[in-house]
């Protein structure tokens, strides 16, 4: 159950002068979390105001990476608390910048600024102004009333994303510090967009990555569902059962592009979620479209979306692997196959396992493509480089096929990429003739 927002509070802590006595730092992850227990006060909303003096954290060497991991931390000042904005020092005491601190996370620091630029309230407001102005210049409203408003590091705000669905802001946080400030950021965005409602939820894996969990919270009278329009198609965003922020805005242009390949074709949409690719295939004139997803709630949303658009697109509740094997046994093929699985590489430690899953998925999907047909293979794993994804998919194509790459696309431009954070270029779509 989602709870209503708590009252924001301000943490102001008197700090010692520069170069304090730092507490000892243990690099063991499990031990470190035990040494920094989580208290209820660490999950309370905080304002964007900045204390005059800040806790300090020393790093072993300078870096331009937004995320600074535990192994690079030299010392932690005794006043530093979970979610604090801290002053980040280099070994000789020079200021590297300012960042969000979480001792329970492997990425203990998420840098907000470099050098002596302090993230005061005005700094946050300028970042939000810049993000909103970019989406205005992109004129996304001419295509859809759903788009990404804040794209984490791509907008200079690491650890948070925000999508605007009509008059609802849907916010997902990836760091404890941003979760604490998400309510204040939502209020700022409401002023800039005219949104009437907002919902804030931690990312699904924050227990593992950040050491905390929370059901999330909302503004009062948040509707369970919100209707949106994208390229003339109607969709429902369900905030109770939807994945992530509720709808994947990143695939907006790819969904539209799919229409160009579908006239008179048979189309299979694997891991279809709420039916984005499938409904666009039907809108593009496909003669048969089947969407498959393991999530029963997602299939229910997809069917409602088909009804909203008066389409007869077929949706099947099934495990994609089992469904593809059934199609193989039946000798069934499709002119167009879209494969858009959930994130399969969740961490650096799980890279090989995730890569193997991509191989298995694509091996089966490619076998269902009619000779000369189209396979659209997608990956939303930011930790898997594009070239590695291409190699994996190519290796998965049956030996008797000669894959030809027609296009390589990514997320829509409302998802800007931070060049010092390669993971922000997470979405990869390969359009291949087989």
Report pLDDT for 34. Answer: 65
pLDDT band at 11 (very low <50, low <70, confident <90, very high): very low
Q: Would the pLDDT of 13 be above 80?
A: no
- Written as six digits, the tokens of 220 are 């009062």
Report pLDDT for 64. Answer: 85
Among 63-67, 171-175, 357-361, the least confident range: 63-67
Q: What is the mean pLDDT of the chain?
A: 90
Among 9-13, 76-80, 168-172, the least confident range: 9-13
pLDDT band at 24 (very low <50, low <70, confident <90, very high): very low
Provide the pairing of β-strand 197-202 with 217-218: antiparallel
217 secondary structure, DSSP code: E
Domains in the chain, ordered, with CATH? Answer: 29-114 (2.30.130.10), 121-224 (3.30.750.80), 226-433 (3.40.50.150)
Q: Would the pLDDT of 62 be above 50?
A: yes
- Written as six digits, the tokens of 18 are 């520069």
Contact (CB, 8 A) for 32 and 108: no
pLDDT band at 20 (very low <50, low <70, confident <90, very high): very low
pLDDT band at 180 (very low <50, low <70, confident <90, very high): very high
d(CA 296, CA 291) in angstroms, rounded, equals: 12
Among 24-28, 118-122, 299-303, 375-379, the least confident range: 24-28
Buried-exposed string 162-199: b where 16+ CB fall within 10 A, e elsewhere? bbbbbebbbbbbbbbbbbbbbbbbbbbbbeebebebbb
Q: Would the pLDDT of 1 be above 70?
A: no
Q: Would the pLDDT of 114 be above 80?
A: yes
Q: Where are the alpha helices (DSSP H) in 175-251?
A: 176-193, 206-210
Helices first, then strands: H and E counts in the chain: 10, 20
Q: Would the pLDDT of 27 be above 70?
A: no
pLDDT band at 299 (very low <50, low <70, confident <90, very high): very high
Q: Would the pLDDT of 186 be above 60?
A: yes
**Which residues, listed in sequence order, are joined to residue 163 by a DSSP beta bridge?**
148, 170
pLDDT band at 21 (very low <50, low <70, confident <90, very high): very low
Contacts of 371 (CB under 8 A, 6+ apart): 401, 434
pLDDT 10s digits, 256-269: 999 999 999 999 99
Q: What phi and psi values does residue 108 have, to the nearest 5 degrees?
A: -70, -25
Q: Would the pLDDT of 162 be above 80?
A: yes
pLDDT band at 33 (very low <50, low <70, confident <90, very high): low
pTM value > 0.85? yes
């Amino acid at each position: 159950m989602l709870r209503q927002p708590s009252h924001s509070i301000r943490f102001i802590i008197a700090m010692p002068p520069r170069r304090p006595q730092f507490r000892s730092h243990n690099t063991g992850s499990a031990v470190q979390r035990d040494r920094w227990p989580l208290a209820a006060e660490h999950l309370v909303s905080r304002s964007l105001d900045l204390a005059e003096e800040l806790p300090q954290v020393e790093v072993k060497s300078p870096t331009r990476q937004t995320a600074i991991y535990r192994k690079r931390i030299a010392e932690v000042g005794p006043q530093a608390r979970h979610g604090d904005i801290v002053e980040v020092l280099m070994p000789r005491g020079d200021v590297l910048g300012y960042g969000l601190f979480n001792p329970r996370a492997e990425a203990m620091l998420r840098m907000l600024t470099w050098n002596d630029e302090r993230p005061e309230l005005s700094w946050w407001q300028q970042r939000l102004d810049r993000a909103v102005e970019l989406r205005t210049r992109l004129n996304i409203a001419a295509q859809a009333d759903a788009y990404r408003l804040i794209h984490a590091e791509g907008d200079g705000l690491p650890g948070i994303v925000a999508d605007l669905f009509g008059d609802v802001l849907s916010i997902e946080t990836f760091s404890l510090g941003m979760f604490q400030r998400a309510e204040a950021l939502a209020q700022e965005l409401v002023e800039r967009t005219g949104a009437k409602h907002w919902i804030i939820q931690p990312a699904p894996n924050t227990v593992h990555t950040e050491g905390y969990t929370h059901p999330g919270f909302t503004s009062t009278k948040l509707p369970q569902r919100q209707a949106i329009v994208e390229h003339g198609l109607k969709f429902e965003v369900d905030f109770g059962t939807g994945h992530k922020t509720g709808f994947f805005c990143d695939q907006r242009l790819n969904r539209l592009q799919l229409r160009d390949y579908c006239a008179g074709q048979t189309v299979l949409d694997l891991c279809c979620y709420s039916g984005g690719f499938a409904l666009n295939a039907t809108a593009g004139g496909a003669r048969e479209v089947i969407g498959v997803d393991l999530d029963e709630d997602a299939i229910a949303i997809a069917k409602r979306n088909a009804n909203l658009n008066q389409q007869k697109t077929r949706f099947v509740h099934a495990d994609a692997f089992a469904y593809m094997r059934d199609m193989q046994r039946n000798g069934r093929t499709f002119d167009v196959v879209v494969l858009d699985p959930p994130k399969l590489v969740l961490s650096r430690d799980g890279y090989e396992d995730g890569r193997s899953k991509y191989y298995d998925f694509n091996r089966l999907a490619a076998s269902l493509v009619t000779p000369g047909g189209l396979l659209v293979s997608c990956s939303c794993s930011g930790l898997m480089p594009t070239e590695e994804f291409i190699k994996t998919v190519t290796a998965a194509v049956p030996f008797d096929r000669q894959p030809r790459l027609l296009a390589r696309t990514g997320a829509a431009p409302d998802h800007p990429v931070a060049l010092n954070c390669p993971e922000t270029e997470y979405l990869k779509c390969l359009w291949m003739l087989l």
